[in-house]
Amino acid sequence: MTTPSSPSTAATGDRDRYEIAHLKLVPKRHIGRTISAAVVIVLLLALIRAFSVGQIEWSYVRQFLFAPVILEGLVNTLIMTVAAMVIGIVLGVLSAVMRISGNPVLSWIAIGYVWIFRGAPALLQLMLWFNLALIFPTLGIPGLFEFRTVYIMTPFVAAMLGLGISQAPIRRKSCEAGFSPSIAASMRQPAPSA
């Protein structure tokens, strides 16, 4: 006759069966990472080799890299970048405030602005601003002051306006997301009457 095992013996047997201390910890292998890193390194080495054996006259590159015309272009690019960013941020914040305001006219103007300028390709906007003189030969208030558009809308100004205005709808979305719900709710509520 077999004797039933005592509860303490059964618990000890179960504990031994689920003991994991004897198992060896094996780190997970990341074969995909290794293969993708190797592919990227091979592609970078191939690109470096292509530049080194290509038909590029590096002596001319060295000669003209710091030429005054190139450095002037670099300065103009940096100025245009900062100015376009400022235009984009200012118009984006203004558009976001218009959008969350309680005024339906301002809200719809902001929606239309984003719809037009976010949907139109940046190259099309740059061409539009550069060729603005074809639509408006003069700018100003007739009788007070007028300017010929071709004198105002230089390639630099056209690029700065085109890039800044096309960036503003993207800035508007980030500004709207940054406004807290309490600010947005307070702007939508009408002011209390006195």
pLDDT digits (tens, 9 = 90+) for 136-190: 888 888 888 888 888 888 899 999 999 999 889 888 888 877 776 666 566 555 5
Q: What is the mean pLDDT of residues 10-14?
A: 62
Q: What is the mean pLDDT of residues 122-131?
A: 89
Residue-range domain boundaries for the chain: 64-188
Q: Please determine, looking at this structure, whether the domain spanning 64-188 carries the CATH number 1.10.3720.10.
A: yes
**Cβ density class 164-181: b for 16+ within 10 Å, e for less:** bbbbbbebbeebbeebee
Give 11's pLDDT tier (boundaries 50, 70, 90).
Answer: low
pLDDT at 44: 97
pLDDT at 143: 84
Q: Is the dihedral of CA 57, 61, 62, 64 positive or negative?
A: positive
Higher pLDDT, 12 or 25: 25
pTM of the model: 0.64
